[in-house]
Amino acid sequence: MRTGLIHRRPVSIAALALLAGAAPAFAAPDWEIVGIRLGMSPAEARAALSAHAPKAQITDYTRQFVYSDGVQQKPLPGFLSVINASQGPTNKSETLEVMFSAPPMEQRVIRVIRTLAMYDDPLPMARAMASVTQKYGKPATVLEANMGSGNFSRWLEPGKTACGDTAPTSMDARQPPPVDNAPNGFSQYGLWQRRKLAPADASNCSAALVVNLVTRPGDPFVREMKFTMTDPGYAVPAMRAVAKQIADLEAQARKARLNSGPVPKL
C-alpha cells in the first residue's frame, strides 16, 4: 500500500456563510458500486474494495487543514481523504476512487467514482443500458452526451430535493452534485442556493447516482463506463462542522496571540 503526501489547505472563515443552515443527515440510499455504499466508514469501504479487487494497486491520500493565529499557521491532524484503486492494462482497466468526509463528524463515504475502460472490447449500447437498468432500476432521466457520444443516466434519492439545474440542457442534470471534504470546496452549492436550485437545509439535498456510457460520435459501442455517486446531504453538514471547528480554533488562537508575547524593553 502506498500513502500519498499530506495536502495542507487553509480554510477561510467565510466558508461558514456558505454552509449556514445545514444539518446532519444520516440516511443514504442503497445504491452500491462494487459493494461500496454512500455512508460507509473507511474500514467498511476498504473491506469492500479488497473483496472486489484483491490484487488492485491501492493508494491512500491524506489531507490536513491549517488555521492561523494571525501570525503563524497551525496544523490540524491529517485524515484519510481518498482511497484510489486501479487494475488492468490501459485499454481494459478499472479505476476506483472513494472519498470520505472530514472530521470532526464521523468519517463516511461521500463520493464513489468507478471507471471501466473497454477500448479493446467495447460493449453494444443496448446491452450496456440493459445491464445498468437491471442493477439500478429505471433512471429518473437519460440524457444524451454532447455530439452523440453516449449518454448519461441519473438516479435520485427518493423523498429528497434534486440539487442543481435539472433542465435537459444543463450539465448539472448530467452529473451528481459535486462534493468535497474541505469547506471551501463546495462553492457550487452556494451558487445553487442563490439561484433557488438547492434547499436551505443541505440535508434535504438528494444523493445522486450517474452512469455515463461513452461512445464515439454516432457509434453504437460503449468504450467507457463511468459510475459516480455522491451524498451532499451528509457532505455539506460535515464540511460545515469542519469550518466551525477551524473558525473556533482560529478565534481562540488569535485571542491567545493578542494576550501573549514578550514586550521589548523600551
C-alpha–C-alpha distance, residues 91 and 116, integer Å:
9
The residues spanned by each domain of the chain are 2-258
Question: Which amino acid is present at 113?
Answer: I
Please tell me which residue, 174 or 264, carries the higher pLDDT value.
174
**Strand intervals (E) in 141-246:** 141-144, 150-156, 208-214, 221-222, 224-230
Contact 152, 140 (CB under 8 A): no
pLDDT at 4 over 70: no
Q: How sure is the predictor about 260, in pLDDT bands with cuts at 50, 70 and 90?
A: confident
Provide the H-helix boundaries in the chain.
15-19, 42-52, 125-136, 187-194, 232-258
Please give the grid coordinates belonging to residue 224. Answer: 467507457
Please give the grid coordinates belonging to residue 243. Answer: 469550518
pLDDT per position as a tens digit, 209-242: 999 999 999 899 999 999 999 999 999 999 989 9
Average pLDDT value for residue range 184-202? 86
User: Is 49 strand, coil or helix?
Assistant: helix
pLDDT per position as a tens digit, 103-154: 999 999 999 999 999 999 999 999 999 999 999 999 999 999 988 899 999 9
Contact 88, 224 (CB under 8 A): no
